[in-house]
Amino acid sequence: MAPPESESPATSRRPPLRLAVPAAAFLLLALCVGLPPEVHPWSRAACQVLAAVASLALSPWALGRRPAPPGSGWLLPLLPLALASLLLAGCRARAVDAAADALMLLLAGALGAALAQDERALRAIGALLIAAACAVSSQAVLQRHVTYPAQAAAVRAAGGPLAHDIAGRLEEGRPSGPFTLPAALGGFLALALPQVLVLARGASGRAPRLGARAALPLLAYALYTTRSLGALLAAGVGFLIVLPPLARRRRALVVPLLLASILGGGALFLHERRIRLADASGGDPLSQRLGNWRAASRMIEDHPLFGAGPGSFGTICTRYLGPGMNEARFAHDSYLQAAAEWGLWILLPLGALLVAFARALRARGPVAAGDGGARLAALAGGGSFLAHNLGDFTAYLPGVALPAALLLGIGLAPRAAKGGAVERGAPGRRGRWEAAAALAVVAAVALHAFGAARSRGALELAQERALQGDLERALEAGRAAAAARPGDPDPPAFVAQLILAHGIDDPLRRPEGERAASRALALDPDAAILHYTRALYHLRAGEAAQAFRETYAAHLLYPLKPLYRAAAPAAAGERR
């Protein structure tokens, strides 16, 4: 006897996930653009929790009989290696933060893979990405022609020791939109431009095609204003992926013109930026970037197996700086930085990702496919992101990395067999254990996200109050930040340095500053500035030997800094 229509496989195979998966993806994308997680701590927490909860809801390999997402077989064998990298890190809090961000990207990729099974949702997410790109492009144009010139004039009128440098940076006119850097804005636009190209040619209606063609010059001009060489090259990679199907008959003409435009624009950007930065600070951006890569390579040589510690590049790289090299939080090559922080084993999943991308690129279909070319556009956007991170660090900026992970999940997801997905069944004992483990992961992510956001928000408030001169309330907020996350070295470091600057002569505050300095140093013993902060407290207490010892430790961790070198013995150079 045939089952009732309401219980047939055709109607039971895709329950509430049909709405839950697109809703989670849309909300994640809206948060990344409206409130970039690298800028807003609570947005970062919301993205982490949303990705974890959504992935639990769409985890059919745990709750039913559907196959696991692509690449999930890599996770279990690599977990012991990841755990070893975390445990061996010098600063545990930064390592956990880096691991939480990496997990968030993996879950966003799984969300994109689930989204890829719904053609209408694919078209909707592409339209939302284009709308977001138009919004940030409009903001960038406004910054370039209205906001930045007005701010530069106000800064020059106000004067001050840094007025010339700040006004010069504003007058350079490189907008960042809602993101932190022009390169981040350029990287986000490189994700969206393939969507615009595909929609401009392959949309079924006239209105979407006209809208996409109108959006194309806006996004292209906003990308030009960023003057980001990496973003321009990344956009070129995306164009090369989508253009051959779009202009097959004129490919011999279109591709060379595109390559010439990319190379010419890249040479212009590089020449212009080298002149500007050399005039402003005497630094050459190309040589500084090569120095970042050299420092990362030396870190890999010294820590090949499990890395120097996730999230530690900005702290550890000071040991490897030489003349002409600059201190930086990022290596300007996400692959090099990942290997330097996590160890060479991280190249296994990264290599698997690149191999999967190459296979998907080789098997790409025409734009006239049933999804309207949405998968091809997603693959092109993901390819631009992978190329961009060869010379930049947008993988460490969730506002760009999360949309890119969604697109990569869409582009790399296997196509569902004709006739629908595999029917779900009741979870067995193994499924229940996997679901319990997934719930535990969600709970751990939520606890970490809440604590980190609360601490970071309090610390930002403390910094604002300190700039306003409200010492007492700044200390109160700093203490609250430390209490919200006891393992984070930044709040006690802030308290110690604030008391050192404004309350060192107060007999009631100085002991608190000493305790905070010791606490921060214990949590992050590889930070040279924390050793020097502790040395200043020793010096104030008349403990010359202890002060010398901590200053010498700071010198070993940052040999190039003159402030630490002044008090170091002559033998320090021989030790180095």
pLDDT, tens digit, 9 for 90 and up, residues 153-197: 888 888 777 777 788 788 888 899 999 999 999 999 999 999 998
Highest mean pLDDT among 16-25, 231-240, 331-340: 331-340
The percentage of the chain sitting over the pLDDT mark of 90, rounded to a whole number, equals: 49
Mean predicted confidence (pLDDT) in 419-430 = 48
User: Out of 41-50, 57-66, 115-124, 548-557, which region has the weakest mean confidence (pLDDT)?
Assistant: 57-66
Mean predicted confidence (pLDDT) in 532-560 = 92
Mean predicted confidence (pLDDT) in 552-558 = 93
Residue 18 has pLDDT above 50, yes or no: yes
Residue 571 has pLDDT above 60, yes or no: no
- SS3 assignment, position 431: helix
What distance in Å separates the CA atoms of residue 136 and residue 138, rounded to the nearest whole number? 5
User: Out of 262-271, 478-487, 527-536, which region has the weakest mean confidence (pLDDT)?
Assistant: 262-271
What distance in Å separates the CA atoms of residue 537 and residue 547, rounded to the nearest whole number? 8
Q: What is the pLDDT of residues 75-118, one digit of tens each?
A: 678 889 999 999 999 999 999 999 999 999 998 998 898 888 88
Confidence of residue 1 (pLDDT cuts 50, 70, 90): very low
The percentage of the chain sitting over the pLDDT mark of 70, rounded to a whole number, equals: 78
The pLDDT value given to residue 207: 75
Concatenating the DSSP letter of every residue in 92-147 gives: HHHHHHHHHHHHHHHHHHHHHHHHTT-HHHHHHHHHHHHHHHHHHHHHHHHIIIII
The angle, 0 to 180 degrees and rounded to 10, between the axes of the packed helices 398-412 and 347-362 is: 50
What distance in Å separates the CA atoms of residue 554 and residue 319, rounded to the nearest whole number? 10
CB proximity list for 371: less than 8 A, separation 6 or greater: 119, 122, 123
What distance in Å separates the CA atoms of residue 20 and residue 36, rounded to the nearest whole number? 22
Residue 230 has pLDDT above 60, yes or no: yes
Q: What is the pLDDT of residues 132-147, one digit of tens each?
A: 999 999 999 999 999 9
174: left (phi over 0), alpha (psi -120 to 50) or beta: beta
The pLDDT value given to residue 163: 76
CATH for the stretch 454-575: 1.25.40.10
Confidence of residue 507 (pLDDT cuts 50, 70, 90): confident
What distance in Å separates the CA atoms of residue 165 and residue 281, rounded to the nearest whole number? 9
User: Out of 241-245, 382-386, 398-402, which region has the weakest mean confidence (pLDDT)?
Assistant: 241-245
Extract the tokens encoding 186.
């350029």
Extract the tokens encoding 272.
């212009």
What distance in Å separates the CA atoms of residue 175 and residue 181, rounded to the nearest whole number? 8
Which has the higher per-residue pLDDT, 282 or 52?
Answer: 52
What distance in Å separates the CA atoms of residue 434 and residue 48, rounded to the nearest whole number? 20
Which has the higher per-residue pLDDT, 240 or 255?
Answer: 240
Q: Where are the domains of the chain?
A: 18-416, 454-575
The pLDDT value given to residue 122: 87
Extract the tokens encoding 108.
């966003």
Is the whole-model pTM more than 0.85?
A: yes
